[in-house]
Amino acid sequence: MLLRRLPHSGGKPKNSPCRTMPLQLQLLLLLCLAFVGHVSAQFDRTISEQESKSVVLPCPVNEEKCGKLHSLNWFKGDDRIAAMLLGDSNVTSVNKEFEDRVTVEQNPYRLVIKDLKIGDEDIYLCDTTFFIPEETCDNFNGYRVELRVLVPPTEVVILDAKGDRIENGSVVGPMQERQALKATCTVKNTRPQPDVGWFRGTKRLATYSPTHDLNDGLYTSTLELDWQLSREDLAQDIECRVESAAIKSAIVTKFSVDLQVPPKSILIKGVEHHTVQGSKVVLQCDIYGARPAVNLTWYNATATISPEENDLTEIRTKAFEKEDGTYHTQSELVFNATRFENDRVFKCEAENIVLQINREKPISSTKTLEVLYPPVVKVSPPEMVTNTSEIVLLNCEYFANPASLTQVVWYRNGDIVNVNDTDHYQGGNSENVALVIKSTDKEDVGNYSCQLSNAIGKGISEQQIDLDVQYVPLVEVLMIPEGPVKESDESNVTLFCNILEANPSVLTKVRWYANATLLKELPDCEETREDLCHIDPSKLLLESIGRGFFYNYSCEGFNAAGWGPRSEEKELMVHYEPGPATLTHFPPIAVKKKSVIFSCSVDDPGYPESNRFVAPQTQPQPQEQLPQANSKQKFTSKSTPHNPTPLIAYHTVQALSPHEADMAFEALLLQKQQELQQLQLQPASSSLSSALTSSIASSSVSRPAVHEIKETHALIDLHLNHSLCTLLTLTTYTPQSQILTLYTGAQQQSTSSMSTSTSSTSLSSSYALYRKMGKFTFVAQMVLQPNRYRWLRGGRGPLQDIVTKDWTVEPVGLDSRTNYSCYAYNEGGKGVMATVNLEVHAPPFFIKNLPQYTGVLHSTRNANLTCRIECVPRCEISWQKDGTTIEKNDTRYFIKEKYMDASPATGDFESMLSVLHFNMSNWPNSKFDISADNANYTCVSTGNSVGPGIKSGTYLGIEYAPINTTVANTTVYVQEDTIPGRVICKSYGNPEPSYEWRFKDKIITRGSALIINTPMQRNDNGTYTCLAFNKHGKSTAETVIEVQFKPRCEIERREIDDQDTLICTAFGNPVEADFSWSIKAENETVEYLGSGDEKAFADKSFYVLQEDYAIARTYRCVANNTVGSGAFCEIEVAAGSALFIWWQEQLAWWQRWEKTTLIILVAAILGLLLAVIIICCIIICVCRRRRRQDKLHDKSSSLGEPLTEPGEYENLPFHGLQTAPNKHVSDFEDPYKSSNTYIY
């Protein structure tokens, strides 16, 4: 048995067993010495963890490359702390010092240290031993882990110059500018050594270097600060920042300084040139840059100003702290200017504690004030009463400085009097200040005042002249209720003669008129009854209103100034209901989605004639026909609603919807046409012409008052001249109101020109309509008289949005199958209702048609197509395949049909449902053919009485999972750090397959093309899989990408055929490589030795060393393949030793031996060694088996037993060692290989 054991670095090598052998076996000694080397120390990994926590130290073991693991040892520095023996029962041993905190774990192999201490910081080695190592194993030096123990600081303390602690975030001071700030920052008990610095904001302050004290493995660091304070330190934090690997982020401990500085500047501002007497003067004094804020004093000349001594003087002082910590002090001196403040000097003086400590004078600023005076005015007399057309004098006196006037203004009730109107006024200027009114009227009533101006300002009189001018009343007629009035109510109406303008505003007498004829003058004290004498003459009561009260009412008022003019006339209307309605509709049978027109008509339109907008009026009666009102007689009229209507001045209709407003406009056009026709048809009597002229004139002169509108209203202003009407509509049913004004577009026409259109039944004209967003024109035309109607549908209503004679229902639907009712109405009431039932048919229409495409899995057992067609009357459905009707005797199909009821929820009429089923049991192989059974299927219906037949088609596609998946290239070669070309993947399926490319069970791209846009690396070498899939399944294909790269090399030294040989091995892709050998001497010169001998190896080259070298040499090898040349590798070969030279001298006596004898001797020795190894193995196996049997019999725990049998442990390579053995390898070993122990 040959035992090869490489000791770990740092220890002394043990005596090799080869030295105890006889001198004759020096050949074996040479072989042993060839494997002895030195391993340079290095770290494979560094791990940091905080004290008292647990840490895991890994030990990577690759049993696939190195073989089965025999045992494992953990070393801390040079001391072994744990071991693990692997076998049928794993045995672990831990040093007593660490047995409470250290455990060795398997799968994966690692060392766990609990309750980490500072003394645990060291370099840890994991040393492994394998039973039978593989040639591919590259683990020689073991696995080293550097463990660092972290301890965060216990505290960070800042001390002042006296040694007192400064708390975090506290304020130090107060301190003066240019004073030195001294502090010390101490970081206690931390590891590793921290970085400490003083900062002000982002600026690091200049300090001495910190001191670091180490005690029990922990550092205490101290850094002192000596800093001269300046204004730059205002509102700044002084920070001590500590950074260390033991803390995640820097620890900041800070404090601020209460720094005091003197003021920098002072400024006084306020009145620039002069001020006016009585004005409020504000002088503002600003002091900047002081900390703390200053104390401020105001002076008037040399006297201190105190608000307590003068109630009209106010001092307001405020201090504002700035971002830098200084204060801006602002003081305002407020007083009312008088002539006594003229040419006075005002001074502002300020100081703070810094100026007082330094014994410096306060800072100050001064301001000189100038005061000017406006005129002082007085008017007389205070009161004056007069009548119209009289002369009035208004006096104005004044005094001012300067005395010259630049302007004279008279005011009446706050408005300027136009003294330039010399026809009405005289004076009122700078030459003659008094104002003379030549002839008074009602507009002169008011309070008069005089305002005078000089170069300085204005002065107005505090007193006023109250001028009162009396004038006759201007009145209007008001009705309560306003009307119209229903005849059936028999209600009362009160007329009021309302004052619009009068002075005095009290009516002592009132004359009442009906159709311009005097009806009554109140009060009437000549009657025998006193109830008409002591009454309010402005009220007239009309009782039990009927059709005979249809008049235009007006009034005249009397006061102390006399009788006023007669008011405009106001109409009183009486309404009654229309007659029964008649309802028809077209077409007689309605069709779905089309329209049906309902028409409602009445023979008796009622009064007003179902026309909401034009009110017929009675003919004006001669004055002698008007009844005289008395205490016993009700005010009535003998006229009837069917009398010819007189011309109307205007009419106002309220609370209209937008649709009704349009109807109002049409009605007014018709009314205007009718009135023009009546003017031409009436007899030319002098009395009627006179009345007509009077009516037109009165309506043309004055316009009605427009009342405030809060809803949607139509205001109609109809003037009986030869122009059309004006319609003003204000709509408020939208979020933002829009005003539309309709202006007449027709020109003034003469009587002769109007006579030509007498026979016309319609009137058309263009009008301009203005909105907020622009202007447009339209043509209005009226053919029929619009009536007022109400509609009901299905017994529900009336409908609020339908008020016309004709109602178009569009579109007609299922809910249209119901009854419809209508009736006419006016302000007098509603007529009798008419009702009809509507029948509705539906043409063929798809409720559910066939989709454009229908996909069916070729192996499905259940497939069908469905279509549903709405049709009333009923229609029939048939099915077609590729244009050919499917017969009922075709066993591959069967059809199910049903006539469905109407669905009110969806609005669908009665419908025909047809389902085409595929009888798969009668199809070949009981499934679809993926290529032959793709076809177009069509659902076809017959027509009915209201529509033609319809049809719907679908393409039936037979679907299947992807098949025949292939790739364009099964193998792709690409060099390292280059981008490979694309690889196309193709598959067949329905629906069209989707593609994914996978590598190492990860999706790298989607799509049929494998496109890699990043340079390839060695670990990208492998098999790439294309996955084609759809909703029915998936299929795969593979391509292999070979990543080629430059070779690296390794050199090892062996004896081959009794020759000392160097072997250079290349590791690259492709494996085939060429080699170049060279020697680097001590003077850095290089000698090339050729390519060596490959001996049928594609990746190896052999170079035989010469036997007569006496100096150390460095041999280099360079390998290259088709990609390029790799880096050189080298090995240092030492000069021959004395032992080696002596050994060569002793070989002379071997010449007496035959070569065969020498071979037999060596073979015998090897056989003997092999026999010893076999015997030892047998003994170990027997001992282990016996031990297991003893454990089974005793059923005892193995926790207290020794780790191994005595004989077994003695056979371990590390038996009897207290420290880890040293291992030596050549310096040319790959640094990425780890150290292991091999047993052959």
Model pLDDT, residue 942: 93
* C-alpha distance from residue 673 to each of 325, 756, 769, 781, 783 (Å): 87, 12, 21, 11, 11
Model pLDDT, residue 1110: 61
Is it the case that residue 781 has pLDDT exceeding 50?
no
Is it the case that residue 557 has pLDDT exceeding 90?
yes
- Render pLDDT for 925-970 as a digit per residue (tens, 0 to 9): 889 998 889 999 999 999 998 999 999 999 999 999 999 999 999 9
Mean pLDDT of the chain: 77
Q: How far apart are CA 611 and CA 617, in angstroms?
A: 13
The residue among 981, 1009, 982 whose CA lies nearest residue 995 is 1009
pLDDT band at 911 (very low <50, low <70, confident <90, very high): very high
More reliable by pLDDT, 297 or 1094: 297
Contacts of 60 (CB under 8 A, 6+ apart): 108, 109, 143, 1234
- Rounded to 10°, the helix 1138-1145/26-34 angle is 150
Task: Quote the percentage of the chain above a pLDDT of 70.
Answer: 75
Model pLDDT, residue 1231: 35
- Render pLDDT for 344-399 as a digit per residue (tens, 0 to 9): 889 999 999 888 888 889 999 998 888 888 888 899 999 988 888 889 999 999 88
DSSP secondary structure code for residue 604 in this structure: -
Lowest mean pLDDT among 21-25, 210-214, 607-611, 855-859: 21-25
pLDDT band at 520 (very low <50, low <70, confident <90, very high): confident
Virtual torsion, Cα 740, 746, 748, 751, nearest 10 deg = -130
pLDDT band at 725 (very low <50, low <70, confident <90, very high): very low
The residue among 778, 707, 767 whose CA lies nearest residue 741 is 767
pLDDT band at 279 (very low <50, low <70, confident <90, very high): confident
Model pLDDT, residue 1192: 56
pLDDT band at 732 (very low <50, low <70, confident <90, very high): very low
Model pLDDT, residue 113: 92
pLDDT band at 671 (very low <50, low <70, confident <90, very high): low
pLDDT band at 485 (very low <50, low <70, confident <90, very high): confident
Q: What is the mean pLDDT of residues 139-154?
A: 86
Model pLDDT, residue 1106: 79
Q: What is the mean pLDDT of residues 38-55?
A: 76
Model pLDDT, residue 898: 92
Structure token pair of residue 1087: 């000698």
Question: CB-based burial of residue 220 (10 Å sphere; 0-12 exposed, 13-18 middle, 19+ buried)?
Answer: middle
Model pLDDT, residue 70: 86
Q: How far apart are CA 811 and CA 795, in angstroms?
A: 20
More reliable by pLDDT, 688 or 141: 141
Where b means 16+ CB within 10 Å and e means fewer, 1057-1075 reads eeebbbbbbbebbeeebbb
Measured at the CA of 354, the angle between CA 350 and CA 355, to 5 degrees, comes to: 50
Model pLDDT, residue 648: 30
- The structure's pTM equals 0.38
pLDDT band at 230 (very low <50, low <70, confident <90, very high): confident
Residue 463, number of CB atoms within 10 A of its CB: 14
- Render pLDDT for 1174-1189 as a digit per residue (tens, 0 to 9): 999 999 998 888 877 6
Model pLDDT, residue 682: 54
Q: What is the mean pLDDT of residues 723-750?
A: 36
Helices (H), 831-914: none
The residue among 576, 604, 581, 377 whose CA lies nearest residue 489 is 576
Model pLDDT, residue 787: 55
pLDDT band at 692 (very low <50, low <70, confident <90, very high): very low
Is it the case that residue 616 has pLDDT exceeding 60?
no
Q: What is the mean pLDDT of residues 477-496?
A: 86
Model pLDDT, residue 246: 87
- Render pLDDT for 807-819 as a digit per residue (tens, 0 to 9): 999 899 988 899 9
- Render pLDDT for 1107-1150 as a digit per residue (tens, 0 to 9): 766 677 888 999 999 889 989 899 988 765 544 544 455 454 45
Q: How far apart are CA 578 and CA 609, in angstroms?
A: 7
- Render pLDDT for 189-217 as a digit per residue (tens, 0 to 9): 998 889 999 998 888 888 888 989 988 88
Is it the case that residue 709 has pLDDT exceeding 60?
no
Is it the case that residue 436 has pLDDT exceeding 90?
yes
Q: How far apart are CA 61 and CA 128, in angstroms?
A: 8
Is it the case that residue 669 has pLDDT exceeding 60?
no
List the beta bridge partners of residue 555.
512
Model pLDDT, residue 272: 83
190 conformational bin, left if phi > 0, alpha if psi -120 to 50, beta if neither: beta
Q: What is the mean pLDDT of residues 692-705?
A: 31
More reliable by pLDDT, 38 or 958: 958
Structure token pair of residue 823: 């009736």
Model pLDDT, residue 670: 60
Is it the case that residue 1164 has pLDDT exceeding 70?
yes
Lowest mean pLDDT among 400-414, 739-753, 848-862, 889-903: 739-753
Model pLDDT, residue 1233: 38
Model pLDDT, residue 533: 82
- Render pLDDT for 1027-1074 as a digit per residue (tens, 0 to 9): 999 999 999 999 999 999 999 999 998 888 888 899 999 999 898 899
Is it the case that residue 546 has pLDDT exceeding 60?
yes
Contacts of 359 (CB under 8 A, 6+ apart): none
- DSSP assignment string, 746-810: SPP--HHHHHTTTT-S-EEEEEEEEETTEEEEEEEEE-S----EEEEETTB---TT--SSEEEE-
Q: What is the mean pLDDT of residues 88-103?
A: 86
Contacts of 733 (CB under 8 A, 6+ apart): 658, 712
Is it the case that residue 822 has pLDDT exceeding 90?
yes
Omega within 30 of 0 (cis) for the link into 616: no
